[in-house]
Structure 1
Amino acid sequence: MVVLVLSACPAGLRGHLTRWLLEISPGVFVGVLTARVRDLAWQRVVELSKDGRAIMIYSTRSEQGLAFKVHRHEWEPVDIDGLHLMRRPHTGRTKPTGPRAGWSKVSRYRKAARRRSSTAELDESE
């Protein structure tokens, strides 16, 4: 099984790939190819893609059962202890992007309770 995803590629390349693969969505091709035809199709994608990007995922005889090929894409395949994974580029953010403090109802209830207790203490001291 082969899945090929193209973005910003010429229409001629998409037409060329429809000879062997089924285009199920714009730029997404799926099909069953032999290893030889798959490699020739990938060579064609690299030659004709110009400034476009391409990712090919295909089945292999390995523990994971699949492998990746990437052309001009910011995500890159890496091999970590025999597993093929896709590494995302670092975005440069240093702060955590989690929820800010005081976002839940419980935190608001606690904050209101602290205010009530602090105003009650002020009233008693007067």
Structure 2
Amino acid sequence: MTVIATTAIPDHLRGALTRWMIEPMPGLYVGTLSARVRTELWTAVAASVGDGAAVLLHPDNNEQGFTLHTAGQRRRTPIDLDGLILIALNPAEPDNESANP
């Protein structure tokens, strides 16, 4: 099973994803895809994400049992720690009002 979660992506990209996957809730796409179709879809997503963000999860033969890919700007950044993917949370940008007391 392949899962793609998106935020603020263009409508044409949503249409491309729904040709191959179902959208059980807005921005979440689930399907069973071949490796070739998954790669082509992810290439289209990564090239078209714009100001949005996307995450791809798919099964893989590793310790965790899945692989994670990201595209776009996100506060959460995947980090490979000795073969395990962990998520680092980047701090939010400070507000201009709270920075100047």
Query: If the length of structure 2 is used for normalisation, what is the TM-score?
Result: 0.83
Partners in 1 of 2:35 and 2:88 — Cα distance? Answer: 25
Partner of 2:87: 86
Q: Structure 1 stretches of 5 or more lacking a match?
A: 93-126
Alpha-carbon separation, structure 2, partners of 1:68 and 1:34: 16
Normalized per residue, the structure richer in strand is 2
Question: Could you say which residue in structure 2 is the equivalent of 1:102?
Answer: none
RMSD of aligned Cα (Å): 1.4
Q: CA deviation at 1:74?
A: 2.2
Q: CA deviation at 1:57?
A: 1.0
Shift of 1:9: 0.7
Alignment partners' CA distance in 1, 2:68 and 2:87: 9
Deviation at 1:90, TM superposition (A): 3.3
1:74 alignment partner AA: R
Identity %: 38
- For the pair shown, the structure with the greater C-alpha radius of gyration is 1
Deviations 1:60-109 (A, max 9, x none): 011110111111222111111211111111358xxxxxxxxxxxxxxxxx
Structure 2 residue ranges without an equivalent (≥5): 94-101
CA distance in 2, matches of 1:91, 1:17: 30
Q: CA deviation at 1:48?
A: 1.9
| Number of residue-to-residue matches in the alignment | 92
Tell which has more relative contact order, 1 or 2 (C-alpha 8 A, sep 6+).
2
In structure 1, the partner of 2:77 is 76
